[in-house]
Chains A and B, each alone.
Chain A
Amino acid sequence: MDEAPDKRARDEELVKSFQSGVAAAFDSLVRNYERRTFVICLRYLGNEEDAREIAQEIFVRAYRALGGFRFECSFSTWLNRITINACINEGKSLFSRIKKRFLKIDSDGEDDERPIQLADHTPIAPELMASLETTKRIEAAIAELEPNHRMAIVLRDIEELSYEEIADVVGVKVGTVKSRIARAREELRIKLKDLR
Chain B
Amino acid sequence: MNDECKKFSELIEPYLRGELQSESAAKLRGHLDSCRACANELADLDRYFKSIRQLSNPPVAIDIATQVRKQIDSEAKIIPLSRRLRMPMKFLAAASVALIAWVMYDSWRPATMQSREPQIEFAKKIPERVAPSEQKPPASMSPPIQSQHSPKPSVNLATGSAIMAERAGKSISDAPDRDAPAPGTSREETKVRDINPARSPTPADETLSKSKMTEYRSPPQSAAREREPTNIVAIAKRHGAKIITDASSSDGAIVFDLPEVEAKKTISEIKKLSNAKVTRSKVSNGIVRITVKAE
Closest to B258 in A: A67
Report the bound CA distance from A142 to B260 in whole Å: 46
Closest to A193 in B: B44
With an 8 Å Cβ cutoff, the count of chain A residues facing the other chain is 43
In the complex with contacts A27-B69, A63-B72, A39-B261 CB distance below 8 A:
no
In the complex with contacts A21-B285, A63-B72, A138-B55, A38-B240 CB distance below 8 A:
no
**B64 interface contact, C-beta 8 A:** yes
Report the bound CA distance from A138 to B52 in whole Å: 7
User: What is the 8 Å Cβ interface bit string for chain A, positions 48-84, against chain B (1 contact, 0 not)?
Assistant: 1000100110011001001110000000000000000
* Chain A interface, >50% SS class: helix
Contact B56 A37 (CB under 8 A): no
Contact A39 B56 (CB under 8 A): yes
Contact B17 A160 (CB under 8 A): yes
* Residues of chain B lying within 8 A (CB to CB) of residue A131: 54
* Residues of chain A lying within 8 A (CB to CB) of residue B30: none
**A139 interface contact, C-beta 8 A:** yes
Of the residues A23, A34, A135, A138, contact of B261 by C-beta under 8 Å: A23
Report the bound CA distance from A27 to B34 in whole Å: 53
In the complex with contacts A48-B60, A67-B239, A138-B51 CB distance below 8 A:
yes
On chain B, which size bracket covers the interface? Answer: 35 or more
Contact A67 B49 (CB under 8 A): no
Closest to A60 in B: B71
B234: shortest Cβ distance to chain A, in Å?
Answer: 13
**A42 interface contact, C-beta 8 A:** yes
In the complex with contacts A21-B260, A35-B62, A59-B68 CB distance below 8 A:
yes
User: What is the 8 Å Cβ interface bit string for chain A, positions 5-40, against chain B (1 contact, 0 not)?
Assistant: 000000000000001111100010011001101110
Report the bound CA distance from A57 to B94 in whole Å: 33
In the complex with contacts A20-B286, A68-B240, A56-B68 CB distance below 8 A:
yes
* Chain B interface, >50% SS class: helix
Contact A39 B69 (CB under 8 A): no
Contact A68 B64 (CB under 8 A): no
Interface residues of B in 51-102 (CB under 8 A from A): 51-58, 60, 62-65, 67-69, 71-72, 75
In the complex with contacts A20-B259, A21-B259, A21-B260, A1-B19 CB distance below 8 A:
yes
Contact A1 B17 (CB under 8 A): yes
In the complex with contacts A21-B287, A34-B62, A56-B68, A158-B52 CB distance below 8 A:
yes
* Residues of chain B lying within 8 A (CB to CB) of residue A60: 68, 71-72, 75
* Residues of chain A lying within 8 A (CB to CB) of residue B286: 20-22
* Residues of chain B lying within 8 A (CB to CB) of residue A192: 48, 51
Contact B261 A189 (CB under 8 A): no
In the complex with contacts A20-B285, A39-B58, A195-B239 CB distance below 8 A:
no
Report the bound CA distance from A52 to B64 in whole Å: 7
Contact A38 B62 (CB under 8 A): yes
User: What is the 8 Å Cβ interface bit string for chain B, positions 147-174, against chain A (1 contact, 0 not)?
Assistant: 0000000000000000000000000000
Report the bound CA distance from A42 to B64 in whole Å: 13
In the complex with contacts A30-B68, A34-B62, A188-B48 CB distance below 8 A:
yes
B209: shortest Cβ distance to chain A, in Å?
Answer: 51
Report the bound CA distance from A167 to B73 in whole Å: 35
Contact B64 A59 (CB under 8 A): yes
**A157 interface contact, C-beta 8 A:** yes
**B284 interface contact, C-beta 8 A:** yes
A135: shortest Cβ distance to chain B, in Å?
Answer: 5
Interface residues of A (CB under 8 A from B): 1, 19-23, 27, 30-31, 34-35, 37-39, 42-43, 48, 52, 55-56, 59-60, 63, 66-68, 131, 134-135, 138-139, 142, 153, 157-160, 185, 188-189, 192, 195-196
12 sampled A-B residue pairs with Cβ under 8 A = A21-B259, A21-B261, A31-B65, A38-B64, A59-B68, A60-B68, A67-B239, A138-B51, A142-B55, A157-B48, A160-B17, A189-B44
- Please give me the 5 A-B residue pairs with the lowest Cβ-Cβ distance, nearest first: A67-B240, A21-B286, A20-B286, A34-B64, A30-B65
Interface residues of B (CB under 8 A from A): 17, 19, 44, 47-49, 51-58, 60, 62-65, 67-69, 71-72, 75, 237, 239-241, 258-262, 284-287
